[in-house]
Every structure is written in C-alpha cells, then in structure tokens.
Amino acid sequence: MKSLDDLPQQTAVAAAPATPTAHTGNATLLALLDRLSPELASSARFEALRQAIADATDASALARQAEALAGLVNRQYRQLGEQRAAAERLLTHVKLQLEELAQYLTREDADHQDGNNARQEFDSHLISEIDALGTQMQQTCDLGALQEQVQSRLGTITARLKVFREREGARERDWQDRAERMNQRISELERSTQSMEASLRQEQQLASTDPLTGIANRLMLEQHMAEACRQVSQAGAEICLLVLDIDHFKNINDSFGHAAGDRALRIVAQQLQARLRADDVLARYGGEEFVALLAATRQDAGLRVAEMLRTCIEGIGFRGQQQPVRITLSCGLTALRAGDTADTAFERADRALYQAKRGGRNRCEVL
C-alpha cells in the first residue's frame, strides 16, 4: 500500500531537486526496506528511516541512510541471535532435567524389581524353614531335640527377617531421598516450562503488536485478513475492510517534529480502538496508515462506522511545540467478496482511499 501524503496540496513547498544518482539510490534503499520482515517494518525506527531515505537528495545523505539501514538490520539479527541462544539454553536445561527424570524412572523400575526379588527370596527362605520345621516335627519323638530344632529355625528366620527389614529400610530411605530430589527437579522443570511459556507468549505478543501504538501490526493483520477472506468465501460472512490514512502526516512531522507525529499516531490508534467492537480488528499497516476489519458488517453499516471514526478524529487534537495540531483521516472502504484474497481486497480499499484523498481528504469513499 503506497503512502498518499504526496498528493497535491493547497500549499506546497518546493524541494531541492534530487540528482539522478540519488533518485536511483532512494528507490534501491526503499525497495530493500520493503523486503524486510513485517516485525521490523512495523517499528518506529523503521518508519523514521524510510522517511529519511525518501527525503535524501544527494549521494552523501543516501550513504548515511544506507549505513543506518545496515545498523538497523544488524541490531535485528543480533536480537534474534540472542533470543535463539536464550531459547537454546532453556531447552538444553529442560532436556537435562528430562534425562534425569528418565534415569530416575529407570532406577525406580530396577529398584522395584530388586524389591520384588528380595521379597521372593525372603518368602522362599521362610517357606523352606517352615517346611523343615514341619518335617522335623513329624520325624522326631525327642521333644528336647525338637525344641532345639524349632529354636534354631526361628533364629534363622529372625536373622533373615532382620536382614530383610534392614535392606527394605535402606531401600525406603534411598527411595525417599530420590523422590525428594526428583520432586525438586520436577518443580524446577515446571518453573522452566512456565518461564518458557511466558517468554513465548511475550515474543508472540511482541511479534504481533506495533511497538509505537500498542495495536496489532501488519503481520497480525495479514493473519486476520486470510481468515476473513476464508469466512466470506466459505461461510458467506459479511465483513468490511477500512483503510484509514492520516491526512498531511508529513506536515505534522515537518512542522512539529517526529515526537508530535508519534503522538498523533498513538492518539489515532487509541481513539479508533476505543470505538470499535471487541470482534473488530484494528492494526497499524505502516507509516500513518491503519486498517480495520469490521466483523458481521454490511457495506452500508461499515460506511456509517467509517464516518463515525472520521468525525471522531476530526474533533480531537493536541498541542505540539505549544501550537494546536489538527488531525483528520481519509478512509477507503470495501466489503469483502467471495473469492477475494487479501491482496484484491486491499487493492480495492486502497483505490477507495485514493479517491478520498483526491476528493479533498477528511472523507470516506466506497468501492
């Protein structure tokens, strides 16, 4: 979607003519900017750089902007590298804990088998001693000798029972110690998992949010657009697409500074978001352009919403450098149609926006 702030205005300030070399360099750097990721393209630094490249009039200025672009891309790659390294460290930590848990379960299985073997061995000895006592009772008539045999067998049983209890007691203490350590590891694993989930949620939030205005960014909008087109084509849903552009935004930046321009973007985003429904989607598409998807909305109702939003913005303003700053919006509107793709719907709404700009701005047009 192209910027529309360069359309003819009532008052124009002549710019210094750019050299052919500078003009070619401008186009090359701007084309390179357009190839960057949506996450990077939604940043305020990116927008300021785009404007600076567009305004550059000589090779020296372009060289400075090219260096700034390289620095922006390098910072982005460093941040991605740091995030990847942090994720890899966390996953390595989780892997080690899972391996320890697997070893614990293997040890528990072996220990359980050892316990079964020990109990079977004790049961076998106990049965053997009892059988021997029964045989002695049947074969001897000497009560004194029988008493000695009984005492001897009971002594053997008692000794074996003592050994068995000691082994089982040691096994129980070892099991409790291992269970306690494993509970600690499981708690650590849970904390690591929660930390990773929180980090992923934060990364997802950052990846889908425009950092300047706090609303959805272009990447998130593209996902919603794909789903909206599917709903219209497959389920016959009625959805309207609004493309809204701040009028004369470059004049705000030039007259009051980029801080005032940023404030204008935040004010517009806040006011639009406050007046849309929870099911609607509002996103900053780039620069001074916003896009809204109105769920369950016919075209005539969508036009009423667009006019309400335009009137709302027209009625607000703020002060920049101790001077009043007025904000107005132009809006292009279209209803999504069966067979639409995100590109075809945007192209239609963009043409409607262009008509609104050509028609005098601060107005809404429908296609």
What is the C-alpha to C-alpha distance for residues 273 and 215, in angstroms, rounded to an integer? 8
Instruction: Write out the catalytic residue numbers.
Output: 288
DSSP state of 240: E
Q: Which residues pair with 324 in a beta bridge?
A: 319
DSSP secondary structure, 19-86, as one string: PHHHHHHHHHHHHHHHTS-HHHHTSHHHHHHHHHHHH--SHHHHHHHHHHHHHHHHHHHHHHHHHHHH
Burial of 220 (0-12, 13-18, 19+ CB in 10 A): buried
- Rg over alpha carbons for the chain, rounded to the nearest Å, is 38
